[in-house]
A and B are shown apart, each in its own frame.
Chain A
């Protein structure tokens, strides 16, 4: 045991006494378990962003530390604590899962550091738990399904059935779609997350309910499993599927390999798409594809953006990271080039941005990807902003 302790001690010494002119960023994501698909994509995007910056933000070298949350809130909090207390990072970014973010946020904010979420956006952090040092490079959970609710209204869907996982984001998604959808909701099934992957019982119920549409939210591998079973159940015509965060650039190549053609033409809402026309996005998508051979996912896009958001803050203070007020002001202005195009920040530091309807199509090479069909919201603000005491 003593040996181990001294080894640990030695490791500590190595990391903490090297202090150069650098900005130290901790990035918490999922690198093990099935959730690692998403984490890996974010890792690729972050590394690409740093590469595009030439390894520097202003005059400072970028020192990136990736940490694995193991898909668990408790582990997420532990690695966050380590980043803050041991590695003494300047900024913590990342967080895919809402429950991990909720568990970890206090560790970062109490230590007086910036926290930038690259995916998770549970209601409380946008509302009563909002914080001056917290920024989102993604969205608030309810917004994307709210956009989907609008789409359903426009399409004249009279009734839907909802199936979603039973955790923070799942509940947020359900709340979101219920808020804007004007038709009848014939049933809601919340499934055990993340273990349940067989949805036979829920699909049978949804079918029996006689709803006109089925709304689901299954990020990661559960999404693939759900889509597959939806196809096997043969519900495409009788119960059209409307999804959020379920079909993405990570699952599409798998679907294509498995020749799962039902996915082609399916639609979902999002704040970003690889076809959005701006310089930053073109470069990001092209270089990402060149390097990794696949389209980046929206998770990757958000992670990529987060690095440029941080860069804008570091450059605004000329590398003086102690000037947090100016850094905060720089980020609030959202003046960096975002791959999603221009957006602004609300008082709660959540983006006020456009939401699009995306559709799965084949690209020129025959690869499955998405394109934008319509703009659902031009500039949408989340509904929790009013609960946030920040001005």
Chain B
């Protein structure tokens, strides 16, 4: 079916390839290669959206990324709903489903449009001045209403089934923008042999050559030349050509973020294809060739559907073969709209009149328009557009006032001139400069190794653009190390050129008027809103912007910023540069979260680290907990057991028989070299020089400020070799801390550090039967108490593989930690498990480990300490070498507040009712009767039900705690106060006899 407004013979799409689609549940037919916008226009549909504040009906302003109005929701399926898609960018595919947004019940009849009638109340910043009474009403009444009214599209409701890819790339020359300038620059750079990446946001390269019917290069029509040049570039090994790719962010040192839309234009993308691909490109040189964007005219009701940019109408005609109306008016302040009128006229569309603000312009396009018989009105203005859901007329007056007439039209094409796209240049921290003569901001001072060419540099005319771009491309390549290539500069045979125009409100919408002449369409900002902001003291453009929200919509002010600035400047009576230009921030156009995130979703959000025995534990039904990146077995419930029951059983079994625990996640560092002991002396509070080979010691590491940073058991394997363990979460930062001191403060020491966390799987075997479980599997180690006393380490074999066998205990029982090379970890565990089963041993997880160590008063750094605790606070003064003259933290420890009385000290707590288990984090007071706010003297750091003790136990940090032994303190809880007694920290086997039991 041929759509009504498709002009046969016009455009470049093959009419044979049709695609059906629906908009607001109505079916239409378009052509492959259409955008949703061109397809709707071909069907005569202009009304596509509602504005943000006033819910005014809106159509298409543009044919590109600058579109403020035509935002729709694209629905692929239930989980693939995408809000706020610009219909002017979305490519059509067969079966596309789109819906309009921000309207109820329907686009043509939107109840919210009552806001438009009441719009005098909704002036700029009105919400700052009201909704304050009564006080409660803001939260419960006004804000919910405002929130519901705001917002455009609707968030997806299901997790996104599509995936997103990412890639880093490097090149010598990155060319941003694939119009005539970008292509010329890429050709020049590519010929030198350097790596070139050329990117453009459109599906087809050519930029404005898509609509400039008059351009001819190298003997071909401009667009055809562009396609030939792109084919040539694509064939070169050193060139990568990226279409549908938007450079959205320009970061430090020529690092540019680009998003390639890979499959949004496809009917059935298939599972393998990413939806979008992020390119993070590091370029030696960047050529910015981003062109310019046409501005609209600011006059009353300039937002009516059918009122659009002249270049957009030209694109729809010359590229898509679509006429935007049958009887079209033109309103302009420069030459470029004439070309649109001429093209449309030649295509058989009636041009009702051209209204030109200028008094007496002349030039070939004007002559041509006149020759085609088009009515031209100089020195006149369109002061209002008629119609509501579609423009129906334009009212024309002499620009200085006087009688007007109304001309029926079904579309108005407008052009106030062109704004160079300096966004990426500005993002690169370049400073723009205002050209007083052409009244536009152009690149001024550069901050990075980049160059702007063509329209974005304020260069007018195709010939000058190609010259400049080609030279810039060659220069950039040369600076980046390219060899001189053979020059094949494209020759421009004919081109179009226009410049100038106007900024700010057109006649009829100037100072003193109250008409709705839109500056920012999406956010409903009118010329009078901007003037009001200035009246209210907003003298900086940033204030004006924030107060009116001008330029803050999804189009980011691409068409509105300059008008807004000019109106503010006029009102302030200042030159434009003194009012300032708001800074351009990334992204250039909105980019999906998915494209930024790339692969880092789901399982790839963060690495999940698993130990060698993870599979075994999982098969046993273990429940896991997250500790840093690690998954650790938390407890091993048997059938019918909850966590409490499982932990009780595990705790009792370990003390009665024995248990196996996976301690592989603890950090491990091998410290090797003749100065290893000296280094250990400096990094830990303890003395190390005299520790014998084969013996272990519990070490404490401080930060320079004197607070506990980490702890762990250290074994001396040889005079020059220590096996250091750290906490699980602390492993990376402890390594960094040690390297920092070694490399920068103690570089004279001959010692090296190697992380061996993952070299060794560690199986803790604890309990009275631990030796009996291990011994049968061990070769070459004397396992007797004399041969291998508590806190010793031996090297030998277990199950036929090498082991570093530690005798140590974090349970207070006789205990061992079996280190074996990680790939053997699971098999050795299984062998130990088999032995353990003979005795009735259990596997236990981190929860039981926590309970057993708390029963012995062993601390966990990060739980019982929190970065504000000294060794003395933790009752660990014994581990600080009193004779040492230096270690990290020695000075911090003696600061006034760290030696003051009344510091919080770690103590034990017993609830008066042994069945009550305190909550970790609960606060402690001395006087439970005091009013709130209460004086808190400490908090519970660890608290458990101890099945072994038959009661609850707890550790706590309490002010002056060690002087309060036996005192009764109180833990006020929401449902009553709990009485506790301050005790020592050891609840089981105070004498430590079980270590050899």
Interaction A to B: no
Chain A contacts to B: CB under 8 angstroms: none
